[in-house]
Chains A and B, each alone.
Chain A
Amino acid sequence: MMKLKRILVAARGNGADEEAVKLACDLAKKSKAGIYVVYIIEVKRSLPLDAVIESEIQKAEEVLTRAEDIAAERDYEVETDLIQAREAGSAIVDEAMERDVDLILMGLTYKTRFGVFDLGRAVPHVLKEAPCRVLLCRDPVS
C-alpha cells in the first residue's frame, strides 16, 4: 500500500473530475495526506500568458468550487489553485515537482478522435515526465 503525504489532482473541467476528487479523498484519508486540486487554463500563443480570459476563469472557479464541495461532503479539506500555462501537461508536472507530491491523479472521460480512443496531449506528457506515481481514473464508456 503506497504511503501518501501529498496528492495532486489535475482537474480538467470534465465529468471525471468528481470521481477523481472522491478517489483522492479516499486514498488520502488513511495517511491524512494533503490534497491539492489544480485547474490549468491553457493560453494560446496568440495571447500573453497572463491574459485575463473571463469565461475560462469563471469555468475554472466553478470546477474548483465543486471540488471543494465534494471534498467537504467526505469531511476532507482540499487546497485549490488556478494556473495559466501554455501547455497543461507541463504545468501539471511542474506543479508536482514544486509541491513534491507522491501521486498525481487525473480523471478523464472516454473520448475518441477519428474513431480511436484519445488520451489528449496532457495525459501522455504527464505519464512520461511525472516524477511520481500517476493514477488515471477513466469514466465508464457511456
Chain B
Amino acid sequence: MRNNWQPKPGDKFVRRPRVKAHPLRRVLGIPGLYSVGYGNVGSSIYYALGIIALVAMGATPIALAVAGVFFVFVTLTYAEGTAMLPEAGGSSSFARHGFGDWAGFISGWALMLSYVVTIAISAFVIPAYLGYFWAPLKESAVMSTAVSMGIIFFLMIINVIGVRETSFVNVLAAVMDLLVQILIIALGFLLVFNLDVLVHNITFYWPSWENLILGIALAAIAYTGVETMSQMAEETKQPAKRVPRALILMIITVLILFGGVSTVALSAMTPQELATNWATDPVAGIAHSISLAITPEEMAAGLSSEKEAVIVLTWIFTELRNLLPGLVAVLAASILLLATNAGLMGISRLAFSLGRHQLIPSALSRVHHRFKTPYVSIILFAAVALVILVPGLFAPGVFIELGALYVFGSLLAFMFAHASILSLRIKRPDLPRPFKLGWNIKFRQWELPITAILGLVGTAAIWLVVIATQPYGRWVGLGWMAIGLGVYFLFRWRKRLPLSQMAGKPARPNSVGT
C-alpha cells in the first residue's frame, strides 16, 4: 500500500447511506483551501486599484489599509462562524442560525448581488487588459462592453454544459496571482519606488473627506473572496481547525501584497494618471511604468564588468522590458477570466444552498436532466450580470457605479455576519466554537468579540455613506433587495412557511463530518 498518496486540492466526498452509513472523509487541507480562496481574493486587485483611485486618488493606499482593517474583522468573524457552522452558505448560514430564515435570506440575497457584480466587473476589465494587444478593446466603450458581455455569455454556456474545472485550475489561478503580484512588487521596489515621489503623490492628490470615506468603502471590493473560502468549508478536512488558519493566512498574504502593489502604483505614476489612463487596468499601468524604467545597458553594466556577461544581461533586461507588459496583460486577463467563472459557480452554489433551506423558490435549484448543472440559476444570474453591464455601452462611468453596487451587497452581507456572530454568542453560548474570537467584552453574562462589534459598526457606517452618496448603488441595490424580499414573502406565504423562524432542517441524506 502506497503511503505517499496525497489527495488533490478539492478532493472530498459525501457518502449517502445505502447499506450502512460510513464516516465521511474530507480531503481539502489548508494549501488547497488557501489556493481556492486566494485565487478569488487575489484577482480583485486587478480592478479594485483603479476603482479606488478614481475616488480616493492619493489616499488609495490609505483607503486600502483602512478597508484592510475591516477586512481583518470580517475574516475573523467568518473564521469563528465557519468553524462553528461548517456548511455551505457563508454569512447567509450564520444569519439563518443567528436570527432566522428572514435574515438568512437578506444576507444571501445581498451576497448574490455582490456575486453578480463581481462577475460583471471581472468580465468588464478583461478587454482593458487585452487592449495592450489591440487598442479598441480598451478605448472603445462599445467594443469593451460588448466583449465583456460576450465573455459572460460564453462562461454561462460553459457552466450550463458543465465543462469540468479541475482543482488544478484553482491552484494554477492562485499561483499565477501570487507570481504576478510578487513580480510586480519586486520589480517595482527595485526600479520605480521612490519614497519622496510616493509621499508627494499621496499628499498632493489627497481627496476630500467625502471621497476618502467613499474610497474606503470601495476598497472593500479588493477583499472579495472571504465568502468563497467559507463556502468551501464543507469540502475541507477538519474545517473547524483548518478554515480559520487558511483565512488568517489569506489575510496576511492579501494585506502584504495589496499594500505592496498600491505603494508601487503610486510610485510608478500619479494618482491622476492611474485614475484616468489606467483605471480599468491598473496593474497593466504599473507594468508599463516598470518597463519604461528598465534601462538594459545601464542595469547590465551595473551588475557586471565582464563583456560577455554584460551582453547576456543586456539581452535579458531588454526581453524583460519588452515582454513584461504583454505578460502581465495575458496573465491578468486569464486570472480575471477564472475569477469571473468562479463568481458564476459561486452564485449558483449559493442559490442552490438558499433553495435547499427554502429561502428561495426551488425552481432556482433546478438541475438540468442531462448536464446535471443548476442551469436556471446560472442563466438567470448571468443574464442579470449582462443587464448590469448594458450602461457600459453608452457611458464609461459604469465602472465606479459597479463598485458602489458591489459595496452595497457585500457590506450588507458582512453586517449580517458580524451581527449573527454576536447574536449566537447571546442566544447559543453553548454552541461549540472550535475557533473562538478573543478580545471579548463582557456584557452581563455574555462575551462579545470586540472585532465583531467594531466590524458591525464600521461596515454599517460605510454602507450608509455609500447609500447616501451613490444614487446608482442606492436605487439599484434597494431595488434588488425589494425584488428579493417580494419573492421571499410570496414564496414563503405560498408554502405556508414561517417568515421569520427557521423552516426546519432541509432533507439531507447524510451529515457532513470527519
Residues of A within 8 A of B (CB): 42-53, 55-57, 61, 64, 79-87, 90-91, 93-95, 97-98, 100, 121, 129, 131-132
Contacts and interface: CB of A to CB of B under 8 A. Distances in A.
Interface residues of B, number: 45
Interface string B1-28: 1100101101111111011001001010
B508 A50 contact: yes
Nearest to A78: B19
Interface of B: 1-2, 5, 7-8, 10-16, 18-19, 22, 25, 27, 88, 159, 162, 164-167, 234-235, 344-345, 348-349, 352-353, 356, 367, 369, 371-374, 378, 507-510, 512
Contacts of A45: 164-165, 345, 349
B22 A81 contact: yes
Contact of A48 (B15, B88, B165, B509): B88
Given A81-B19, A81-B22, A98-B25, A90 B8 contact: yes
A131 B356 CA distance: 37
12 contacts: A43-B372, A46-B348, A46-B378, A47-B374, A51-B356, A53-B367, A81-B15, A81-B22, A82-B18, A83-B14, A90-B27, A91-B13
A97 B11 CA distance: 14
Contacts of A94: 7, 11, 13, 25, 27
A51 B18 contact: no
B159 A86 contact: no
B166 A87 contact: yes
Contacts of A84: 13-16
Nearest to B12: A49
A80 B373 CA distance: 26
A100 B162 CA distance: 33
A85 B11 contact: yes
Nearest to A44: B162
B165 A56 contact: no
Nearest to A48: B88
B19 A47 contact: no
A44 B1 contact: no
A93 B1 CA distance: 12
B12 A100 contact: no
A87 B164 CA distance: 9
Nearest to B6: A129
Nearest to B507: A52
A131 B5 contact: yes
A44 B27 contact: no
A44 B22 CA distance: 23
B347 to A, nearest CB: 9
Contacts of B2: 131
A88 B394 CA distance: 47
B464 to A, nearest CB: 33
Contact of B18 (A48, A52, A80): A80
Contact of A81 (B7, B18, B159, B234): B18
B7 A90 contact: yes
B27 A50 contact: no
A125 B385 CA distance: 37
A16 to B, nearest CB: 21
A53 B509 CA distance: 11
B11 A46 contact: no
A93 B5 contact: yes
B10 A53 contact: no
